[in-house]
Amino acid sequence: MAHRTQFYINGEWVDPQSGERLDVVNPATEQVIGEVALGGIEDVDRAVAAAVAAFETYSQTTREERVELLSRIVDVYKNRIPEVARAISEEMGAPMGLAMAAQAPAGLGHFLSTLSVLKRFEFEEDMGSSRVIREPAGVCGLITPWNWPINQIACKVAPALAAGCTMVLKPSEVAPFNAILFAEILDEAGVPAGVFNLVNGDGPTVGVAISSHPDVDMVSFTGSTRAGIEVARNAAPTVKRVAQELGGKSANIILDDTDFSAAISRDVFGVCTNSGQSCNAPTRMLVPNARMDEAAAIAKAAAAQVKVGDPSDAGTTIGPVVSAVQFEKIQALIEKGIEEGATLECGGAGRPDGLNAGYYVKPTVFSHVTNDMTIAREEIFGPVLSLIGYEDDDDAVRIANDTSYGLSGYVSGQSDRARSVARRIRTGNVHLNGAPVDNKAPFGGYKQSGNGREWGRYGFEEFLETKAIMGYNE
């Protein structure tokens, strides 16, 4: 990869205005694997100027032209999936099996679903004597995280391109190399100069410069709730649109009429997937009080089957968490759970046996957790499950909704009853009986999990403005 210390601006790989760089660390070995350039305000200004200039022509392209462009991106992306998967595994620790099966293909999935939406979307409709037109929102600032990196890049870039917007992307500086590959894919596919621009850097510098820039019309941000609040503050003086996908603390209600062994074992693996680094992870498992010990035994046995190890080992279930900072945060929260009186069923503080280097975390299960404990309130972002007891369906719904977050929810049980409970959970998504995510359905949250939606038609519409032309049909 030849462009790790450059930015992609106005269709060219360019050197940053400053020489500041950041080491990128492989979390499995704690060794430096390369450097990434850190941008500044001047780099953002240059990228935004390119996007502004490109918007004049790109916003006027036809549906057919944009369909052709996205189709070319799909073709190029398919050929680069193994390379993207290797980069993601190396820089953020995902096992190669997960990187090849889910992480890298997720980006392709969003381009395919967006392409399907674009081909059928009605951009104009008549209302009486008026014509209502949906047109591109403008220059978009896209700020993305490290946990599912190419997924979160593609689910913003694909609809922005399809809508006719131009953009500046700031990926996470913790795992930036996959984004550089992504920029190479778009360049090879022939995205017009200035339509897509990439500036690497940190949040306090590049993130702030993008979210506060007067020529950026919209910011789409995925990350922590704390950082999302700052993005909104920075965007407020210019009254730009802000779409946010933020943190989560999702409840997973196990109803008493479900197969406990199957549901709990399945969902322990769900919590641990990607080393627990998913904003929609089902980390609060709600079980009937009378069956707490039974549920805990099943969860403990399932956690014992999760193999922590080298991401390149075919037998590895989960690799390390992404960084020393993340590792220390998780360790502190595990210690807090013990301190506050939760029952530690398995796992706990420290690295798994035999792993003396790398940011590896033991799959950890706490039982007899109450919803006021820190581990039930804060997003841990690690392979840590909290079992919380409930008395009846009403109590389960009350506990599920007793959180500042509202990104996702999970319910396992007989269909009609599970559907009824799902309707009462205040979240943007609910998974019934282990149903997977669906990139054609809207993804996003209530409350402090953000605003706006991504994926499919709803994500596409976030990048459109609505114009009414009165008297058009007279």
Smallest CA-to-CA distance from 39 within 213, 188, 296, 181 is with 213
Whole-Å CA distances, 337 to 288, 389, 416, 430: 21, 16, 35, 27
The C-alpha atoms of residue 146 and residue 103 are separated, in whole angstroms, by: 11
The C-alpha atoms of residue 265 and residue 348 are separated, in whole angstroms, by: 19
The C-alpha atoms of residue 312 and residue 291 are separated, in whole angstroms, by: 39
Q: Give the DSSP letter of residue 175.
A: S
Q: What is the separation, in whole angstroms, between the first and last Cα of the chain? A: 58
Side chain identity at 257, as an amino acid letter? D
- Any catalytic annotation for residue 272? no
- Any catalytic annotation for residue 279? yes
Packing angle of the helix pair 63-92, 149-163 (nearest 10 deg): 170
Packing angle of the helix pair 63-92, 104-120 (nearest 10 deg): 170
Q: Give the DSSP letter of residue 352.
A: P
The residues, ordered by sequence, that sit 6+ positions from 431 with a Cβ below 8 Å of its Cβ are: 282, 408, 409, 410, 411, 437
Tell me the Cα Rg of the chain.
23
Catalytic one among 184, 279, 345, 462? Answer: 279
Q: Is the dihedral angle over the CA atoms 266, 271, 277, 282 positive or is it negative?
A: positive
Side chain identity at 62, as an amino acid letter? T
Catalytic one among 90, 184, 245, 462? Answer: 245
The C-alpha atoms of residue 251 and residue 462 are separated, in whole angstroms, by: 27
The C-alpha atoms of residue 277 and residue 151 are separated, in whole angstroms, by: 13
Tokens representing residue 2 in the block: 């030849």
β-sheet bridge partners, residue 244: 221, 451
- Give me the active site residues, please: 245, 279
